[in-house]
């Protein structure tokens, strides 16, 4: 079934999904009557009810079914997901970005199986049995590119020939893909530019791939979503973040480069909070990768400088 969505792109649920295909406009699973389609929504709602969808180490997406109070039943939307192949329907997944926000298209999936997870809290905090679906993505990627350093690691897998190199290439690609899948559940968009469309972002490890353990390489909290020019600065240590989440700029960054790149690094940015685990990775980046520090508090704008260049840029 042809769909008018690009993987990784944002869309309006009411105007671009339901106005085109129909289906229930509320809830986590929508089943349009006029189209062979099952639409599942993942993200914020589940977390607020005490559980969250997740990717396992085999790149299988565990998706909790619908039903807010009491044991989940294998009916309605839950049955539609479990039986979508049998019913000849396409299963697609969208990520909720927050109340009043756009939805991100994650692409087509296939339901492999389901299981019952006991003692899962319902909306009222009471334990109940939840139905969890094991979904496999049918997309080659999420529309999200690897960072500069990560891409170099992928390219290095091609340097040698033979079975060992082929296995290493497959392993690197699989882990990189799993990292990206998990990262989008942690980060919504680029903290420097505000871009949330995955087609224009890169998945950047905070603690570089080469320095990370096997578990850290696929940990979504060891990552940031960054626009390409911001990823370049972060990967090469020209910017980092303090333990309080404040943006740090290296003395080694050429003074005119932020302006030429079109990045707003001249005033306090609403970076947002990092999780405790992210801050541990950021500490490594700050101590090992970052090239030197100067906080934005020292970069007051001088009105006499051309094109908004700051005193910091002039230093």
Please write the tens of the pLDDT for every residue from 210-260: 899 999 999 999 999 999 999 999 999 999 999 888 899 999 999 888 888
Q: Is 62 helix (H, G, I), strand (E, B) or coil?
A: strand
Give 58: exposed, middle or buried? Use CB within 10 Å, 0-12, 13-18, 19+: exposed
Please write the tens of the pLDDT for every residue from 71-112: 999 999 999 999 999 999 999 999 999 888 999 999 999 999
Between helix 163-183 and helix 148-156 the angle, nearest 10°, is 160
DSSP 299: -
Give the residue from 233, 230, 225 showing the smallest Cα distance to 179.
225
Whole-number pLDDT of residue 101:
92
Whole-number pLDDT of residue 294:
59
Whole-number pLDDT of residue 266:
64
Q: How far apart are CA 38 and CA 31, in angstroms?
A: 5
Whole-number pLDDT of residue 166:
74
Q: How far apart are CA 73 and CA 53, in angstroms?
A: 18
Q: How far is CA 31 from CA 23, 63, 209, 228, in A?
A: 5, 16, 41, 37
Query: Going by DSSP bridges, is the β-strand pair 90-96/37-42 parallel, antiparallel, or unpaired?
Result: parallel
Between helix 148-156 and helix 228-235 the angle, nearest 10°, is 80
Whole-number pLDDT of residue 47:
58
First to last CA, the chain: 57
Give the residue from 244, 234, 254, 242 showing the smallest Cα distance to 190.
234
Half-sphere exposure of 22 (CA within 13 A, CB side): 7
Whole-number pLDDT of residue 185:
93
Whole-number pLDDT of residue 295:
53
Whole-number pLDDT of residue 24:
92
Q: How far apart are CA 25 and CA 17, in angstroms?
A: 9
What string of H, E and C letters represents the secondary structure of 94-140?
Answer: EEECCCCCCEEEEEEEEEEEEEEEEEEECCCCCEEEEEEEEEEECCC
The pLDDT tens digits along the chain (315 residues) read: 789 999 999 999 999 999 999 999 988 999 999 999 999 999 866 555 567 899 999 999 999 999 888 999 999 999 999 999 999 999 999 999 988 899 999 999 999 999 999 998 888 888 999 999 999 999 988 889 888 887 777 677 666 555 566 777 788 888 999 999 999 999 999 999 999 999 999 999 999 998 999 999 999 999 999 999 999 999 999 999 998 888 999 999 998 888 888 888 865 677 889 999 999 999 999 999 999 765 554 443 333 333 433 332 332
């Amino acid at each position: 079934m042809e769909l008018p969505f690009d993987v990784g792109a944002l869309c309006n649920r009411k105007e671009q999904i339901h106005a085109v295909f129909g289906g229930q406009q509320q809830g986590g699973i929508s089943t349009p009557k006029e189209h062979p389609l099952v639409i599942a929504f993942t993200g914020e709602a589940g977390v607020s009810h005490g559980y969250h969808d997740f990717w396992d180490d085999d790149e299988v997406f565990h998706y909790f079914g619908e039903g807010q109070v009491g044991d989940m039943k294998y009916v309605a939307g839950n049955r539609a997901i479990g039986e979508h192949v049998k019913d000849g329907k396409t299963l697609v997944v969208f990520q909720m970005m927050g109340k009043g926000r756009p939805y991100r298209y994650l692409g087509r999936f296939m339901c492999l199986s389901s299981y019952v997870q006991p003692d899962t809290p319902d909306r009222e905090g009471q334990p109940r049995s939840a139905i969890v679906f094991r979904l496999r993505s049918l997309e080659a990627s999420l529309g999200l590119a690897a960072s500069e350093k990560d891409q170099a690691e992928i390219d290095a897998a091609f340097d040698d020939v033979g079975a060992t190199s082929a296995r290493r290439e497959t392993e690197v690609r699989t882990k990189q893909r799993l990292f990206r899948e998990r990262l989008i559940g942690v980060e919504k968009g680029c903290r420097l530019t505000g871009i949330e469309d995955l087609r224009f972002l890169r998945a950047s490890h905070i603690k570089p791939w080469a320095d990370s353990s096997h578990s850290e390489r696929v940990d979504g909290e060891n990552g940031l979503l960054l626009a390409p020019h911001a990823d370049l600065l972060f990967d090469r240590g020209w910017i980092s973040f303090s333990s309080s989440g404040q943006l740090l700029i290296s003395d080694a960054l050429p003074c005119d480069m932020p302006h030429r790149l079109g990045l707003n690094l001249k005033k306090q940015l609403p970076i947002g909070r990092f999780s405790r685990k992210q801050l541990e990775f950021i500490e490594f980046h700050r101590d090992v990768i970052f090239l030197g520090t100067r906080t934005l508090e020292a970069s007051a704008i001088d009105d006499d400088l051309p094109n908004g260049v700051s005193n910091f840029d002039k230093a």
